[in-house]
Amino acid sequence: MGADNWSRGKIRYHLESKGYATFTEIEAEYGLPPATISSTIRFPLEKGEDVISSILGLHPAEIGRAVMVPGVCVSSLNP
């Protein structure tokens, strides 16, 4: 499946639908440094992408913000 280039709002909506009211909750649960998730929805950050995709049950490439997709230019994935 190709990248959908999800918007920040769509990512936030889907995280909230999984029961996470704030990014801080996710960071605390997964042991991430502060601001990792909010930074990840603006810039490609592998750790944050892994957590977001895990929560959503998707591969990072399905969200369209993956940094570690072989043969894919990061700039082509980010809106």
pLDDT, tens only, 67-77? 434 444 444 44
Provide the domain count of the chain.
1
- In-domain check, residue 68: yes
Residue 3 lies in a domain: no
Q: Is the pLDDT of residue 56 over 60?
A: yes
Residue 40 belongs to a domain? yes
CATH of the domain at 17: 1.10.260
Q: Which domain holds residue 22?
A: 8-77
- Split at pLDDT 50, 70, 90, the class of 32 is very high
Q: What is the mean pLDDT of residues 7-20?
A: 93
In a domain, residue 25? The reply is yes
Can you tell me the distance from the alpha carbon of 54 to that of 73, in angstroms, rounded to the nearest whole number?
22
Query: How much of the chain, in percent, has pLDDT values that exceed 90?
Result: 53
Give every CB contact of residue 64 below 8 A, 6+ residues apart in sequence. 3, 4, 5, 6, 77, 78
